[in-house]
Amino acid sequence: MNDWVRAEHHAEKADRLLQAGRCVQALREWRQAVAMNPYQGRWQLYLGRTLETLGRYREALNAYERACELLGEDVESMLCLAVGWIREGRPRRALQQLRRIHELDPGYEPAYCHEIAAHVRLGDHHSAEVAFYLARQLVERCPTCYDHIARSHALRGNLQQAVRCWEQAMCLKPRAGGIAANLARSYWQLGRRNTALAMFEHHLRAQPFDAESMLQCACLLLELGKHASARRLLEHVSELDPACAEAHLHLGEIALSAGKPETAAYELQHAARLDPRLPMVRLRLAQLSLKRGLRDDAVRQLEVELDQPPIRRAAQVLDLGATLVACGLVEPAALVLTELIDRPDSHDLSREVLAAARLYRSQAWLSLGRHRPAIRDCRAALRVDPLFVPAMRQLAAAHFQLRQLRRAGYWLDRARLHQPEDSRLRRLRRRLRRRVWGRRLYHAVCMLTAPLSGGRSV
C-alpha cells in the first residue's frame, strides 16, 4: 500500500471521527492524511475546519490559506479564509475576498452573511445592515446573519434588540456555534442570571472545548454561589489553557472563601506569575495576607493593585474599597468608592452594593476625621436600605465621636432593635452609658460647687 492510498484511508477515518464529534482524533487523522498527500486541497479545508472546531484558529487559518492555493477560486475555501481573517482582526482584507466571491457567484448568500461581520469589526454598522438586507433577498432567514447583526446591536448598546436577534438565530439553528454563548452573556448583562446559566450550559454541550465561554460560565456560577460547579469548570479551563491566569485567580478565590489559605496562596501566586497585571489578583493576595495577620504585606499588594488597569465590575470595586479601609489606606479607599458611587450607571447597581459603598466610604471619612461626610453617607445608605444595621451602627459611632449623645443613643437603639445580640452594639452601648453618666456626674459636681465658689467670692 503506497502513501497516497494510506492517506485516503486516514482521510476516510478522519471524516467518520469528525461526524461522530471526536475532533481530537479526527485532527490526528487529517494531519497524517495531509502529511502523506499535501496536494489535496479539500483535505486542507477539512483540516482547517477541524482545527476551528477545537478553537485553534491561527492553525486553521494556515490550513485555509493552503487550501486556497491548491483549489484556486473555490468559493467555499475562499469564504473560510475570509472568516479566518475576520477572526484574526483583518476585516478589510476579508472584505476584498468577499467581494471577489460576489463576482464569482453573486447568489452565494454566505458571502453576504460574513460581510456583515466584517463591517461590524470595522464599526460600520450602516453597511452591516445593508449587507444583512441584501442577504435576506437571497435567503429569507439565516441564523448566522441574525448572529452577526445581533453583535452590531450589542456594540451599539441595543441589548434588547440584540437578544431578539440571537433568539431568532437560536430558533433557526439551536446548535449553531457561539449563538447560545452570546445569548448567555446578554442575559447576564440584563440580570437574568439563571437563564444565562442555562444558555452557557447549552453552548458548552455543543462546544465543550470553548475555554473562554467555560471561564465566563464559571464566573457566573461564582456569582450564584455554586462554588463546587465553578471549581470543576475552572480546573477544566486550566487543563485546556494552562496559561489562563484568570482561571487560577478564580480557583484561588474559591480556596480563599473555603478557608484553604495554602491552596489559595498557590493559585493566586501562580496567576500573578502568568499575568502580573491581571486585575484583582493582588487584591486577593492582600486579603489572604490580612487573614494571616500580615498587614504590611497586604498594604504592599494593594499598592500594586492600585497601579493595575482599573476594575470594572461594581462588586469587585466594592471589594477593593473595603479591603483598602481594612488596611488603613483610607484616602485611596475614599477615591475608589467615590468613583463607584458617582459612576454613570450607578442607578443600575443593586441596593446592596450602593448601601455597602456608602458605608465603607463613611468609614474612610471617619478615619480621616471628616464626621459630617461620614454621617451624610450613612444617611444615604439608609435611604437606599432603611434596615441596613451597619449604617445605623456607624451613625451612632459618628455622633458619639461628635459628643452628640442623644443622637448616638437614638441610632444605637434602632440598630439594637434589629440586631439585639450584636457584640459591637453592646460595646458601643457600654461606652455611651459611661459617657452619659460621666456627663451627668460632671454637671452634678458643677451644680454643687457653684454655690460654694459663689460664697467665697462674696
DSSP state of 347: G
Q: Give the residue among 289, 276, 212, 220 at the shortest CA–CA distance from 247.
A: 212
What is the C-alpha separation between 188 and 307, in angstroms, rounded?
29
Predicted confidence at residue 451, as pLDDT, reads 62
The three cell numbers of residue 70 are: 491548491
Query: Treating both helix axes as pointing N-terminal to C-terminal, what angle do 109-122 and 91-104 enclose, rounded to 10 degrees?
Result: 160
**Beta strand extents in 167-301 (DSSP E only):** none
What is the C-alpha separation between 202 and 186, in angstroms, rounded?
15
Beta carbons of 289 and 280 less than 8 angstroms apart: no
Beta carbons of 319 and 283 less than 8 angstroms apart: yes
Predicted confidence at residue 437, as pLDDT, reads 78
Predicted confidence at residue 2, as pLDDT, reads 60
The three cell numbers of residue 229 are: 460547579
Q: Give the residue among 97, 40, 100 at the shortest CA–CA distance from 70.
A: 40
What is the C-alpha separation between 437 and 187, in angstroms, rounded?
58
Predicted confidence at residue 13, as pLDDT, reads 76
Predicted confidence at residue 18, as pLDDT, reads 73
Predicted confidence at residue 59, as pLDDT, reads 86
What is the C-alpha separation between 55 and 170, in angstroms, rounded?
21
DSSP state of 310: P
What is the C-alpha separation between 171 and 163, in angstroms, rounded?
12
Predicted confidence at residue 458, as pLDDT, reads 34
Beta carbons of 64 and 80 less than 8 angstroms apart: yes
Query: Treating both helix axes as pointing N-terminal to C-terminal, what angle do 389-401 and 423-457 enclose, rounded to 10 degrees?
Result: 20
Query: Treating both helix axes as pointing N-terminal to C-terminal, what angle do 109-122 and 143-155 enclose, rounded to 10 degrees?
Result: 10
Residue pLDDT tens, the chain, 458 long: 466 677 777 677 777 877 777 778 887 877 777 788 788 888 888 888 888 888 788 888 888 888 888 888 888 888 888 989 998 889 999 999 898 998 888 888 889 889 999 999 999 999 999 999 888 888 888 888 999 999 999 998 888 999 999 999 888 887 776 888 999 999 998 888 999 999 999 888 888 888 899 999 999 999 899 999 999 999 999 998 899 999 999 999 999 999 899 999 999 999 999 998 888 999 999 999 998 889 999 999 999 998 887 777 888 889 999 999 999 899 999 999 998 888 776 666 778 888 899 999 999 998 888 889 999 999 999 998 888 888 888 888 888 888 888 888 888 888 888 888 888 878 878 887 787 777 777 677 777 776 655 544 43
What is the C-alpha separation between 117 and 151, in angstroms, rounded?
8
Predicted confidence at residue 405, as pLDDT, reads 83
> What is the tens place of the pLDDT at every residue in 338-359?
988 887 766 667 788 888 999 9
Q: Give the residue among 312, 193, 241, 243 at the shortest CA–CA distance from 233.
A: 241
Beta carbons of 11 and 40 less than 8 angstroms apart: yes
What is the C-alpha separation between 56 and 37, in angstroms, rounded?
22
Q: Give the residue among 221, 222, 228 at the shortest CA–CA distance from 204.
A: 221
What is the C-alpha separation between 58 and 357, in angstroms, rounded?
44
Predicted confidence at residue 177, as pLDDT, reads 66
Predicted confidence at residue 456, as pLDDT, reads 46
Predicted confidence at residue 347, as pLDDT, reads 62
What is the C-alpha separation between 208 and 375, in angstroms, rounded?
52
The C-alpha angle 127, 132, 138, rounded to 5 degrees, equals 130
Q: Give the residue among 123, 207, 172, 280 at the shortest CA–CA distance from 184.
A: 207
